[in-house]
Chain A
C-alpha cells in the first residue's frame, strides 16, 4: 500500500473514532403530572392542535421566535413563571393558554394579539402544554430547538393525568 493511501486510511480511522466520541449530556428533566384537577377542554379546536405533531412543532418554533423563551426559559421560567411545573396561574386548558397568549395577564404577561394569528396562538398553546408532559407520545417533537441542555421530550417518562372532576367553584382562570 502506498504511503499516501495508508495515511488517508489512518486519517479515516481517526475521523470515525472521533465521531464515536459523542458529547455526554446530563439528563435533568423530571416531568411532573398536573396535581390539580384536570379540566378537559371545552373547545373542540383543542384536540386538533394538541393531537397534531405539525401544530405542536410549529408552536415550538414560535416559542423561540416570539421570545417566549426569554421569560419562561425552556419551561423552567425566569422573568415569567415556569411552564413545566404543575401550577397554572390562569388556568391550564388549551383555551386558557390561548387567551393568556393573545390578551396578556395583569402581572406581566404581555398581549400578543396583533403579533400572532389565532392559529399561531393555538399552536403555541399546544407546545406550552407539552412542557408539563401532557400530550400524546406520538405527537411530541423528537428533538429540541434549544441548545441541547434538556433531554428530548419523547424520552421523558409520562405520568398519568389526574383526571378528576373539578372542585365546586373551580373554573378557568380568566
Chain B
C-alpha cells in the first residue's frame, strides 16, 4: 500500500500531465504520461456508443466522452430508473447502439431493447425471451449470472445459461439463429459474454466446478455454424496445438501435455473452462483469453501441471490454432481460474516500446506479457499474497509457499488470496489519459480443507471446504489504480466490502464503480478522490457504461442487482449459519443481507440540463 505523501506527489504529477493532455480531442488516443496507450488497432474512434461489454477489443472500458468530468460530476442526477423485474445477480452491462439500449438479464436471460428517443420518455421496444431450461440453474456454480450481449453488424449475440448461443436481429428482436453448444447434463453452462470479430462469435463454457472438459469455440456470425472448437485438456489435436504453437517457456513445450500432465484419464474431467474475457488484436489477428481452474478443487487428486488449465492462450482467430500459452498457475491449488481480463496496451518495458497484454490474475499477480511471444515481462503482486512467494521470470513459474498447500486430513488456515482470487471476473478499466488501470478487487483470506471428491456427472466435483474472511487491514475490498509501466500502485481506495463490479474510465477523468451494498461511486481518475455517489436499491456487481444520448448529452448507465458468487447470500438467499455456504464466500459477507436487498433496476444518470 502506498503512503500518503507519495500519493499526493503522484497526484500532482498526474494532474500536471493531464493539463498538458487536456486540449487534445478526447477521441484521439495518445500515450499517457507513462507512455502506455491501448493497442491502436484494437480501439476505434469514440462514437458515443457502447457496443460490447469491454467497450473495445483492447478491453479498456474507457470512453472518450468528457461532458461529465471531474469538475462537474458532483452535479450528476438520476434521469431514468426502471425495474427489470430480475432478482438475481446482474453482471451484464447495458449496451447502447444508436438510440437503442439493450439489457441482458440473468437467467432466464431475457434481452430487453429500450428506445431511448421515445417521447415523452424512453420505452421498451421489444423483449426477447429465450426460455432456457430451468434445470440449468442447478449446475450454475455461482448464481445464474450472464455477463452481457454483444452488438455487431445489426445483430446481438449472447449466450444462455443452458448452453445456447443466440443471434438476434437488433432492430426487431427476432432470433436469426440459435446453436446449442453446451450440455447441462454434464454441468456445462455459459455465463460469459461472447467476443465478435472477423465474422466469428467466440464462446467458452462454464462448469469448472462440475468436472467438465473446458473449451472455447468460434461460431460463424452469419450462420451460427461451429467454425472451430479448442479443448483445454487432452491431446494436442483437440487443443488445436500444431506446428505454429510456440510457447515462450520450456514447461509449456512437449507433445500432448494436456494428457501427460494429468493422472490417467483425469484430463477428461479436468475443467479448464473459458468463462471470462476475450481480447482481440486485429493487427496480429490473435485472440487472448484465460482458462479456468482444473477439477476437482482438491489438488491431491490431480498431481501434475494440469495443462492447459489456469493459463492464457493466444490463438489465431480464423483457425483457432494455438500460437502460444503461458500457465500462470501450474497445478492450481486454490481454484485460481485464470479467466480475468487482458488489457491490450502498447507501452515501454525497460525502455523499449512493447506490444503487451496486462492481466491482473486471480493468483494476485499482475502480469505484463508480450502479445506476440508470450514472454512475461513482469509479474507484480497487486493484492495480498501469502500462498506464493513470487514468479520466476526465467522459467515463468509461480513459486508456491509449501505450508499453504491444501492437504487431505488437515485444514490450512489463512490462505491469501482466496479461491475467488485477489480479483475475480470483474474487469478493470484503462485510461489512456492517466496511463493507469483502475482495478476493483478483493482483500480476503480463507481457510481450506480438502477431501476426496467423487466424480458424478452433472454434480459438483470439488472435494474442498472453504471459509473466507477479511484480509490484512480488515477491509474486504480495494480499488487500486495501477501504473503498468512503473509496476506499482499509484494509489488505493479501501472498500469495506469486496468489489464485484467492473470499473469504467472516461475522457472526463472520472472513474465509476459500484459496491455490493449499492453505492455507485465516481472518483477522480488522477487522485482517487470521491467526487459523487448515489445509493441504489440493490447492491452493484454490474458493469457501468457511458454513452451519448439521442439528445447529445452524456449519460452514465448501470443495472443494479446484487448476487454472483460474492452476493449469493442475498440473491440465493443463503444461510449465514453455515460458513462454508457458497463455497465459503458467505462467511466473508455475513453482513450483506442487512445492508442491501435483491433487486434489478436500470439507472441512468446525467448532468442537469
Contact = CB atoms under 8 A, between A and B. Distances in A.
B580 A71 contact: no
B499 interface: no
Contact of A82 (B138, B462, B581): B581
B138 A74 contact: no
Interface stretch (B129-137, B171-179, B553-561): B129-137
Contacts of B357: none
Given A76-B574, A76-B575, A78-B568, A107 B581 contact: no
B577 A84 contact: yes
Interface stretch (A13-21, A50-58, A117-125, A146-154): A146-154
A150 B577 CA distance: 8
B54 to A, nearest CB: 27
Given A66-B454, A147-B465, A78 B581 contact: yes
A36 B424 CA distance: 39
A108 interface: yes
Given A67-B456, A76-B580, A107 B134 contact: yes
B134 A106 contact: yes
Nearest to B140: A79
A77 B465 contact: no
A73 B578 contact: yes
B138 A110 contact: yes
B575 A148 contact: no
B341 interface: no
Interface residues of A, number: 35
A73 B461 CA distance: 13
Contact of A108 (B138, B449, B572, B583): B138
Contacts of B138: 71, 79-80, 107-110
Given A85-B575, A110-B458, 16 more contacts: A66-B454, A67-B454, A73-B582, A74-B580, A75-B578, A76-B578, A80-B138, A82-B578, A84-B578, A106-B134, A106-B135, A108-B137, A110-B135, A147-B465, A148-B411, A149-B580
Nearest to A68: B459
Contacts of B448: 147
A29 interface: yes
Given A77-B581, A82-B572, A108 B454 contact: no
Contact of B574 (A28, A82, A110): A82
Given A64-B451, A77-B574, A106-B134, A70 B461 contact: yes
Nearest to A77: B574
A76 B134 contact: no
Nearest to B457: A110
Contacts, number: 129
B582 A107 contact: no
A67 B578 CA distance: 17
B568 A66 contact: no
A82 B570 CA distance: 12
Interface string A17-38: 0000000000011111000000
A76 B581 contact: yes
Given A106-B135, A108-B139, A150 B578 contact: yes
Given A81-B572, A110-B459, A149 B139 contact: no
B378 to A, nearest CB: 36
A146 B580 contact: yes
B453 interface: yes
B400 interface: no
Interface in B546-592: 568, 572-583, 586
Contacts of B456: 66-67, 115
B579 A149 contact: yes
Contacts of A70: 209, 459-462
B459 A76 contact: no
Contact of B454 (A65, A76, A81, A147): A65
B578 to A, nearest CB: 3
B141 interface: yes
14 contacts: A28-B578, A29-B578, A66-B459, A70-B209, A73-B582, A75-B575, A76-B580, A76-B581, A85-B577, A107-B138, A108-B135, A147-B465, A150-B579, A150-B580
B200 interface: no
Nearest to A145: B451
B453 A28 contact: no
Contacts of B460: 67, 69-71, 79
Interface string B453-489: 1101011111001010000000000000000000000
Given A66-B454, A110-B459, A78 B583 contact: yes
B453 A67 contact: yes
Interface in B428-451: 447-449, 451
Interface in B96-143: 134-142
Interface string A105-140: 011111000010000000000000000000000000
Contact of B139 (A79, A82, A85, A148): A79
A82 B581 CA distance: 8
Contacts of B583: 73, 78
A80 B582 CA distance: 9
A73 B135 contact: no
Contacts of B461: 67, 70
A45 B460 CA distance: 30
Contacts of A64: 451
Given A70-B461, A149-B447, A76 B576 contact: yes
Contacts of A30: 577
Contacts of A110: 135, 138, 458-459
B574 A107 contact: no
Contacts of A29: 577-578
Contacts of A150: 577-580
Contacts of B135: 106-108, 110
A32 B454 CA distance: 31
Contacts of A148: 411, 449
A173 to B, nearest CB: 16
Q: Which 7 A-B pairs have the closest CB atoms?
A: A108-B138, A70-B460, A76-B578, A76-B581, A147-B449, A82-B575, A147-B465
Contact of A147 (B447, B459, B462, B586): B447
Contact of A28 (B140, B459, B568, B579): B579
A130 to B, nearest CB: 13
A28 B587 CA distance: 10
Contacts of B209: 70, 79
Contacts of B580: 73-74, 76, 146-147, 149-150
Contacts of A84: 575, 577-578
B287 to A, nearest CB: 30
Nearest to B211: A67
Contacts of A79: 138-142, 209, 460
A107 B139 CA distance: 10
